[in-house]
Structure 1
């Protein structure tokens, strides 16, 4: 069974809550259709969405590092999520990484936008019919992220789905990120595990997202 970082500290706060929290943590870390990195990224993304940048973030950074996630991947996750959760919260989050002693950034190269293709390009074209200016900004933000190194396309898509669940953006944004995840190898079972893991951070949100995202038994994707 995975050893959860910070369990002793939770017990010092409240022993009964600690038992409940550890049980919920083991649910997430025991899921079989997500990689260890993806489980760590779920927790780190959840911290930005709440935001929970104090002890929860410290615990989740420690869990990520213990399980072999390199510091640059954590930084890249934050870079990717900036326009999804808001740039201002990432300023504080990067400050917290410094306070926690995370290694300094290795990647300091100028950002090179990558032209959008596939679902991302289609999403921008759809948005152009609604608001061309917003479409231009969105295209710029997406082009700066989805072709970068340090995270896979599947990891980026799953992290973006976490934001959709937290913010309950269960329409076009959810469908776009689910399509991107599936095109990068995610299956219905991957998405089911994602929502089961996210239930730790809010069952009602996970329930609503499951209604919007998952096929019912016997139905196709």
Structure 2
């Protein structure tokens, strides 16, 4: 197995772990909450940030389109109802690990704060690390929370940063979906990775097409 193949294999292990975290976080949501997220005017058409270049579409609802910078290729080995999209850049392999972005979608319920608290609590338990305070924002009119934390130990990887952007997308009739974009590398100072990862996080397009 060559360096690139090893990098992809270790990356897919990380992808699977990211999917498991999202699933566990979603399962811990407070389904008995009396203050659910309201869709309101959040899904206004045209409220997503402008982006340039090609977009790649993830299957399922809500519809998610992600900017696809040069060198970032789709890998479908982990595709599922939970893991909607994985892009890997094998040209940026470092420490035997290929930078990647994983898009997961999991049903959620409760208020925005409750959903995010559940996500952060699960991250801290599973990753056995402190998760620093993140940043509130909006993506396509939906409330979001972005946090960067350190992870290590998986497949013998060195300590490295992971950034997760959590976007709570309300559903008509109650409840919501939590869309999580998780991007990581073992070479965070690489300028190409910095530019590309920011472009993907900031340029994601989310559309709710209710039947």
| TM-score range relative to shorter protein | under 0.3
Q: Which has the higher helix share?
A: 1
Q: Normalization by structure 2: what TM-score? A: 0.25
Q: Normalization by structure 1: what TM-score? A: 0.25
Q: Which has the higher strand share?
A: 2
Flag the structure with more relative contact order, 1 or 2, with Cα contacts below 8 A and sequence separation at least 6: 2
